[in-house]
A and B are shown apart, each in its own frame.
Chain A
């Protein structure tokens, strides 16, 4: 089983929503579409589902060309950001709704709904109506509807975006387990890099209607093909600076922060990408370099501290563990973990890692 997009393109009027895209999703995989709002995640999903037709290109499913085949005939299910359930059905009837249409007998419906409800911790709520449930339970109901019918393709369009923090974390942990031994392709759209890392599987980074990179999630994270992919897969935003290299000496272009590294690239000008958590108030890794800066903002996020600072003409973001208070305007010294630097050439392609 596989889902393949061949040179799929989507235009609406004069605007291009999806630029020519090739993507092959394999059986039993979870695939994350990662990108900001308007990157084309939803459009891509609707094309995969058959809710929307591509302007050009083909969609192949299991070796069959399904371009233009109606969604009802494709055996897929979808969960949305909004909690979509039938408002005057009970939770049981909501979960059963995709089965009832297929004409399965009521005993089997009961058994299958019961099983899915238990999996999603909804057993106690089967007789309630959606508006009597919390947001988390409503979304669980929508998920149960998607899971109950053994779809070949399950599409999740930012399913956690409207949930509050606690419920989001809880459901995010459960999600990969729900799909573990299912014979289907799961596509999960999100704006949050952390979601992609926690869900694992494969990730496609998207920017403005382009699939920038597709591959194993950790590979995409650790070895982004280019600067765009690295930027999409970094939150808080990645720090990018111009550098020059000669021999084993590296130097930031607009000041004199210097380090040595055995990275094997030619002498010349490069860009580096440094993830915020690789700039810390304490030393990390065997090879680190100091950077001085003036604090712009210092904020706490849970048990982590974000310090925004300026150095040279650039604004930098650092993310350290623990509570690290700095005053605005204060001069501070931070440490960058050289082994985690990403080096890009002048065409923004990754040339080396570490």
Chain B
């Protein structure tokens, strides 16, 4: 068979290459470049090899913020997933309640992140904020700007308020795709509500829940704007999560080399966890 060679198709691919190069490859390589060198003023660089990587991996500061980050993400997933599924289960399936609930649920997702931070900052201020003031007036010694526990509580509450809706909407979509015949069949079998949840709803929601966990993991693990506006990482270093710490190192102290090394380690951690998680969840699918 004669093949005609025609390279014109490349013209269609080139724009993608250019775009990806500029928004991903070039910035990433710049970071890689920084991570192996010491930077001085007027663009003078000196080769440092893997020194920054070693330093970061052994630095107590990095361990501390990674630990805070891991705990934060763990708590977020632990609260938002069950809560999201529960809310989705209680949402109406037909009638006027459906659009009302969907719109209410989408609201928090539509608010810009820094606005969420600012809103909660004011809301939680111990002297004038509604939440802070109310808590103090009923006898709690609440002050998120001074007490680490309160700062964590407020940050977590803010994130739950902001992002649980995403889990709700995904779970709701998953629940709605279950055919009514499944519920009838279970009813005929005499299955309990808990059985229906365990044996029908949960398995049928598996895919959307995988997606929800992945999205919530990535977002909460890389959270920056909201705690930056709410607590700024404080009091002290109490809510100084990974990306906050990273920005402090890069732009506050102008340690470009270590910051670049830290970015790469950060990036690889996220990538690795997502990959492991996704492979585990999809193991069953691959078998069939």
Contact = CB atoms under 8 A, between A and B. Distances in A.
A76 interface: yes
A87 B200 CA distance: 7
A98 B189 contact: yes
Interface stretch (B82-90, B180-188, B223-231, B274-282): B180-188
Interface string B186-204: 0111110000000110011
A87 B203 contact: yes
A173 B187 CA distance: 29
Nearest to A100: B189
Interface in A78-122: 78, 80-82, 84, 86-89, 97-98, 101
B189 to A, nearest CB: 5
Given A86-B200, A88-B203, A78 B288 contact: no
Contacts of B59: none
A72 B187 contact: yes
B7 interface: no
B179 interface: yes
Interface in B15-61: none
B179 A82 contact: yes
- Greatest chain B CB density within 10 A among A81, A87, A129 is at A87
The binding surface of chain B is classed by DSSP as: helix
A78 B203 contact: no
Interface in A272-309: none
A78 B186 CA distance: 10
Contacts of B204: 87
Contacts of B187: 51, 71-72
Contacts of A131: 288
A77 interface: yes
Interface string A122-162: 00000001011000000000000000000000000000000
A94 to B, nearest CB: 10
Interface residues of A, number: 22
Contacts of A71: 187-188
Interface in B199-233: 199-200, 203-204
A76 B187 CA distance: 11
A101 B181 contact: no
A49 interface: yes
A87 to B, nearest CB: 4
A86 B189 CA distance: 11
Interface residues of B, number: 15
Contacts of A132: 288
Contact of B185 (A46, A72, A78, A81): A78
Nearest to B185: A84
- Most A-side CB within 10 Å, residue of B184, B185, B188: B188
Interface in B239-259: none
B157 to A, nearest CB: 35
A82 B179 CA distance: 9
A89 B199 contact: yes
Nearest to B187: A71
Contacts of A80: 181, 184-185
Contacts of A78: 184-185, 188
B189 A84 contact: no
Nearest to A101: B190
A87 B203 CA distance: 7
A78 B183 CA distance: 12
Contact of A72 (B181, B190, B288): B190
Contact of B189 (A49, A101, A129): A101
B188 A86 contact: no
Contacts of A76: 188
A72 B199 contact: no
A76 B188 CA distance: 7
A317 to B, nearest CB: 35
Contacts of B190: 72, 98, 101
Contacts of A77: 188
Given A77-B188, A78-B185, A88 B179 contact: no
A82 B199 contact: no
A82 B181 contact: yes
A76 B190 CA distance: 11
A88 B199 contact: yes
A50 to B, nearest CB: 9
A312 to B, nearest CB: 47
A310 B179 CA distance: 44
A98 B200 CA distance: 15
Q: Which of B182, B185, B191, B199 has the most CB atoms of chain A within a 10 A radius of its CB?
A: B185
B185 A101 contact: no
B189 A97 contact: yes
Query: Which of A51, A81, A82, A86 has the most CB atoms of chain B within a 10 A radius of its CB?
Result: A86
Contacts of A72: 187-190
8 contacts: A71-B187, A80-B184, A84-B182, A86-B203, A89-B199, A97-B189, A101-B191, A132-B288
The 3 A-B residue pairs with the shortest CB-CB distance in the complex, in nearest-first order: A72-B190, A80-B181, A87-B203
Given A80-B184, A98-B190, 17 more contacts: A51-B187, A51-B188, A71-B187, A77-B188, A78-B185, A80-B181, A80-B185, A81-B181, A82-B181, A86-B200, A87-B203, A97-B189, A98-B188, A98-B189, A101-B190, A101-B191, A132-B288
